[in-house]
Structure 1
Amino acid sequence: MEEVRKLVNHSIQSSMLVVDEEGRVILATDKLLKFSGYSAEEITSIPFSRLFKVRASLRELYDFYFSDESGPVEWPHGFLMSKNGETIHYQFSMARLVRDEKVVYLMIMRNQLEGSQLNLLQRFSDAFLKDVNLGVLLISMNYTLVDISDMACRILGLERETILNMSLDEVFATVPSEHRLVQRTILNGMVVRNYAVSWTNNHERFELLLDSNVLKDNQGNMVGAYIIFKDVTNMRSLEEMVQRSDRLAMIGQIAAGTAHEIRNPLTSIKGFLQVLRRTFEVQGMSKEQSYTEVMLTEINRINELVNEFLLLSKPKHVSYERIDLSEVLRGILPIINNEAILYNVHLQYEASYHLPEVIADQELLKQVFLNICKNGIEAMSDGGVLTITEKVDTTERNVCIDIHDTGSGIPMFVIDKIFDPFFTTKDTGTGLGLSVCQRIIHDMGGSIKVSSKGYGTTFTIVIPYA
């Protein structure tokens, strides 16, 4: 009998009891022994009626609850007396087995405490997926999505009802395989910890930290996998802002100390060249005159570079006041439109009426908008659409200006460098324009965000409103 009990324990994890028709316990699984407190020998010596506090016979219980082929709607409830005298509530199901005219009853039992714990865990799981500020994906062994949290749906741009039980190859069909958030290797037991991932959804870029692992059953067999990720976009943006501010501050200190020393000799050179140009013009020396004009043009270019270099330090003579961003944009729209016409670009302006006022310097804002719009227009060499959109983020109390172009986009390996001083992809660019724009907006308490998905780029200027 002990060998039979071990065999049953190995094959079933439920609380199970085998009782003969006279009410003698023949066999009990380890799980039942554990929560009742009896040993295998002790429980076989206790009559069924005393153990389970019932007056009815096993035949009567079976006939009342389980003789109907359709079975009961729910498992019946009962009481079991534990070894220490505690009454344990349980639910049970029965099967009647007949062999060689001998009848035994097989009882499968479930401790109600276990049921309530499972119910509690299920409720926690449901609440976790809905309320927690984490992205969670549960994946089955056949690579289908079993469940997904609300935050994961929001960041990944998915609708929960339409993707559940769908193959992840279909869920991420529009994403190149090497850039997918979930790889099939996760089902090979690959464990990931704090893996940094960038994800772009509807022109909004998210920085994520991802963990993944497999799920196993009680026998150690793998039954699925999970992925958990946290949105660390704001943290990364803050780190990058601090790093860029440090770099800009260092360059600004160099600029403040050297720009005047550069300008002084340039002023002298420019003055003497103007005198020479006038002399060559009077004497009819047109060839020499053309040389001086080239030199003067280059000196003016150096002066402009020095002016931008100086702006990397804290801008001087800044006048902060309450400003309506719509008025600022409408004031420079003719300039932007004229530039767009030269490149066969169509300009769209989507206004938002009654924008809250911001505290800023009007002239510096014009410089930022013109610079970013000019970059967007030049990115569409074959024509396209430049869209300027005004929005209000009432949650963060910001006014947002989106400047979107339909150009070829910015490669992912470049996008993190575009605000670095002297980094440029243009043949004639200085690489200081976006650095200066970022410094100006940062000094106003705002930020500049950029997102690109390979078929267009969106710059978002964010400024807190008054």
Structure 2
Amino acid sequence: MFQFYADKFPCAMMLSVDRHGKVAYCNRLFCETTGYRREEVVRLAVSKFIPDSMEELERSYFTAALRDETLTVSLIAKSGETLSLQLTYINAEMEGESYRLLIFHDKRHIGELNLLQQFSGAFIRDVNLGVILLDMNFRLMDISEMACRVLGLVREDVLNRPIHELFAGMPMEHQLVQRALLDGVIVRNHAVTWMNNQERYELLMDSNLLRDDKGNTVGAYVIFKDVTNLRSLEEQMQRSDRLAMIGQIAAGTAHEIRNPLTSIRGFLQMFKKTLREKGMSREYSYTEVMLSEIDRINELVSEFLLLSKPKDITFDHVDVVTVINEMLPIITNEALLHDVSVHFHPAGRLPRIVADRELLKQVFLNICKNGIEAMTEGGTLTITVRADTDSDSKVLIEVHDTGPGIPAFLIDKIFDPFFTTKENGTGLGLSVCQRIVHDHGGSLRVSSKGFGTTFTISIPYDKEFAK
């Protein structure tokens, strides 16, 4: 405990006095300033160094505090010199024993002390970093607000508690803070994935030991940065690059594919008519299969073309609720075929967005159809629209289904071109949707909790226009 306060006041002299008025501890700066060795100070009566009794000192300190004044006291050095110092008085307890801490500030260094204390407090309180300070007993001595948010902790509830209690029930290898830190294990830019309930964080972590002036280890620190958005942006850029490459290939080959397909389809339709007239039913059925497969190839080519950046986007001020209402009859009819009920919850008056109405319809229809088809034994599809005014001024459209959810090992792949879990799927639907949403300056995210899946479409709006 004494070391903790010594670290809190690195530019101050400190004495710890027991209930009998004897010195129990003094820090290095006290010895250097007064000329005493530590063994000469400990167990001496405090009156050896301060002319006033402890009772008088305590009374004077709290009287000054009530007046919002600073108490100045005299401290007698070994040479007999009297030093005029400012005093901070703290009542403390350790292992059932009461102590009084006398912390003396040299007026010449008081500005430096205040600056260091203010910086330390501001760093822990305000910096957008996860900061964890540990003592040698592996107890949590301080923690930043950002670390509390990521770890799901309440600062007042966890201070001075052993770290292992904060991660109780979690396997040792999955605990964010390892006891090996105190053994000198240094971590630099270590990538960690952390789950707080269903919230996923990507972190970059540093850690090291804290040492005093003599090189003795007095604790350790952990600092981590939330890079979730950076990781997400990096993945988005990589995916966009892949889509752009496929789009370029598609744009260059689509017409070359469609031209012969058109000829083949035309001749097949002639054969189909002739075969029907001659009563060749088996051969007639073969032509129907071939024509349906040709139509499927044409649909695939059309989706290829949508992977390249759309050339004819018509931007306009669009009311998202109106667009969804126009699509609801189609979505509801599709849902009835799968014994699924549809609920739409718009949140009051929403700002308009700048978008292409028809492309938005394509996105909403595709994502809703995916959700409906995921619920093989019936369920509920819920569409929610709301405005996120707290951060980036975006309209959020959430489509939630009550299906089996997406396995964790697949959820990062569903936007990849040609990846599909459907028997007859092309694996391009979500890729196309993501490209359309990105072209509108928005984002398309997915979350799945093992039961049910939520797709969130986020599209920015202009605050000035929304007024």
Q: TM-score range by the shorter chain?
A: 0.7 to 0.9
- C-alpha deviation, 1:451, in angstroms: 2.9
Aligned pair partner of 1:152 in 113, 123, 147: 147
Corresponding residue number in structure 2 for 1:213: 208
Corresponding residue number in structure 2 for 1:421: 417
Corresponding residue number in structure 2 for 1:460: 456
Identify if the C-alpha distance between structure 1 residues 286 and 330 changes in structure 2 by more than 3 Å, giving closer, same or farther. same
Native 8 Å contact 1:145 1:163 kept in 2? yes
2:393 corresponds to 1:397: yes
2:261 corresponds to 1:266: yes
- C-alpha deviation, 1:225, in angstroms: 3.3
Whole-angstrom CA distance in 2 between matches of 1:173 and 1:364: 49
SS at the partner of 1:124?
A: helix
Aligned pair partner of 2:85 in 75, 83, 89: 89
Corresponding residue number in structure 1 for 2:185: 190
Higher Cα radius of gyration: 1
Q: Deviations over 1:125-157 (max 9, x none)?
A: 332222111122334555554433222233344
Segment of structure 1 superposing worse, 325-334 or 147-156: 147-156
- C-alpha deviation, 1:230, in angstroms: 1.6
Native 8 Å contact 1:14 1:31 kept in 2? yes
Q: Which amino acid aligns with 1:449?
A: R
Aligned pair partner of 1:250 in 245, 253, 256: 245
- C-alpha deviation, 1:226, in angstroms: 2.8
- C-alpha deviation, 1:436, in angstroms: 0.7
Segment of structure 1 superposing worse, 396-405 or 284-293: 396-405
- C-alpha deviation, 1:224, in angstroms: 4.0
Q: Deviations over 1:44-94 (max 9, x none)?
A: xxxxxxxxxxxxxx78966x51489999977971156899x996526599x
Report percent identity of matched pairs.
Answer: 57
SS at the partner of 2:410?
A: helix
Q: Deviations over 1:341-371 (max 9, x none)?
A: 4444443322112111011111111111121
Identify if the C-alpha distance between structure 1 residues 441 and 166 changes in structure 2 by more than 3 Å, giving closer, same or farther. same
Q: Deviations over 1:175-198 (max 9, x none)?
A: 676554334444444322222233
2:454 corresponds to 1:447: no
Native 8 Å contact 1:82 1:88 kept in 2? no
Corresponding residue number in structure 1 for 2:361: 366
TM-score, scaled to structure 2: 0.74
SS at the partner of 1:257?
A: helix
Q: Which amino acid aligns with 2:290?
A: M
2:315 corresponds to 1:320: yes
Whole-angstrom CA distance in 1 between matches of 2:33 and 2:118: 24
Corresponding residue number in structure 2 for 1:102: none
1:9-158 matched pairs, under 5 angstroms: 31-32=29-30, 34-35=32-33, 64-66=52-54, 77-78=73-74, 89=85, 110-112=104-106, 120-141=115-136, 143-158=138-153
Q: Which amino acid aligns with 2:150?
A: I
TM-score, scaled to structure 1: 0.74
Q: Which runs of 5+ in 2 are unaligned?
A: 1-11, 16-25, 38-46, 63-70, 90-101, 463-467
Native 8 Å contact 1:130 1:149 kept in 2? yes
Q: Which runs of 5+ in 1 are unaligned?
A: 1-12, 17-27, 41-57, 94-107
Corresponding residue number in structure 2 for 1:410: 406
